[in-house]
Amino acid sequence: AVPAPDEPADLRGRTADGHPVALLANIGRAAELSGVAVEGVGLFRTELLFQHHIDPPTDAEQAAAYAEVFAAMPDRQVVVRTLDAGSDKPLPFLREHDEPNPALGIRGLRMARRRADILRTQIAAIAAAARESTARVCVMAPMVTTVSEAAQFAALCRDAGLPTVGVMIEVPAAAVRSAEILQVVDFLSVGTNDLSQYTFAADRRSGELADLLDPWQPALLSLIALCAAAGVAVGRPVGVCGEAAADPAFAVVLAGLGVTSLSMSPPAVGAVRAALAAYTLDECRAAAQKALAASDPAAARAAVTRC
């Protein structure tokens, strides 16, 4: 997203020749924004607010928690992610059945198959808090796999008065169909943590498989490139909000692929801003092409030498 004209210029992510790449924060609660200089929030992980709740949070409880984050970002973008419960983020009030393979089971948006009420309540609470705020509130769903899931989610949000809707790209099937998904939503946000896990069939928490989970793996880069190109083709934003966005050299490659925003934990923003400012957009594009052509992660990293 292009920053609003009233945002202080020093917060903006820009290449050396002024091409904007919005630098946003990944947060789980409002307190993480205190003293932080960012253009907005690119990933508000709402499940972290409720991870110790035995009962589902009420509308009012949720609206109050969302309002606190919106109040910290007046006139700025806040991308609220609906509950990503299940697998590595279990929520006590949504633990209905044990699954043998939770990462491949009912998690993220899939929870709405069983508990549509929980998603509807959350969307209504986000809409209520958004109405009272000047933050530019966007909403997105985690673990979307198909175009029809994306379309159903978008309809639900728009009916509730939330016009700007996106989905996370965390499943290879969704990356492959990103152009079609962009026909039904306003933006995409690539979650590299899960996209790596599912592309490489490697548990994201496994230290032993860290080489496969390396974001510089050419197959991951190819999928991100596909998503970014889909966004460029229709002029819709495609961001990256997984941990990889915090790697300054990787951020240069992402900018070169056409990614429009990078969202990361707030302490990482300064180094990424400095890296982007050191390269022109053409240099970012050249680095991205070299990284895509590399045969392994080490060669891809070597494509960006000045970070």
Binding of ligand PEP by 242 (CB under 6 A): yes
Choose among ligand PEP, Mg ion, none what residue 45 binds, the Cβ cut-off being 5 to 8 Å by kind. Answer: ligand PEP
Binding of ligand PEP by 241 (CB under 6 A): yes
Q: Which of 32, 39, 149, 170 touches ligand PEP (CB under 6 A)?
A: 170
What is the CB-side half-sphere exposure of residue 301 using CA atoms within 13 A? Answer: 10
Which is closer to ligand PEP, CB of 247 or CB of 283?
A: 247
Which is closer to ligand PEP, CB of 133 or CB of 217?
A: 217
User: Rounded to an integer, what is the distance from CA 282 to the centroid of its chain?
Assistant: 25
Q: Which two tokens stand for residue 237?
A: 């934003």
Q: Which of 42, 56, 191, 266 touches Mg ion (CB under 5 A)?
A: 191
Binding of ligand PEP by 46 (CB under 6 A): no
**Contacts (CB under 6 A) with ligand PEP, residues 99-158:** none
**Contacts (CB under 5 A) with Mg ion, residues 194-213:** 194
Which is closer to Mg ion, CB of 195 or CB of 252?
A: 195
What element of type H or E holds 44? strand 40-45
C-alpha span between 213 and 203 (Å, rounded): 9
Triad 239, 22, 124: Cα angle to 5°:
65
Choose among ligand PEP, Mg ion, none what residue 192 binds, the Cβ cut-off being 5 to 8 Å by kind. Answer: ligand PEP
C-alpha span between 199 and 252 (Å, rounded): 22
Stretch that binds ligand PEP, among 90-98, 129-137, 156-164, 192-200 (CB under 6 A): 192-200
C-alpha span between 171 and 85 (Å, rounded): 16
Binding of Mg ion by 47 (CB under 5 A): no
Angle between helix 192-199 and 218-234 (nearest 10): 130
**At its nearest, how many Å lie between ligand PEP and the CB of residue 72?**
20
CB under 8 Å to 98, separation ≥6 — which residues? none
**At its nearest, how many Å lie between ligand PEP and the CB of residue 150?**
16
Choose among Mg ion, ligand PEP, none what residue 149 binds, the Cβ cut-off being 5 to 8 Å by kind. Answer: none
The CA-to-CA distance between both ends of the chain, in Å, stands at 25
Binding of ligand PEP by 191 (CB under 6 A): yes
Binding of ligand PEP by 84 (CB under 6 A): yes
- CA nearest neighbour of 153 among 129, 128, 187, 179: 187
Asked whether 263 and 212 are in contact (CB, 8 A), the reply is no
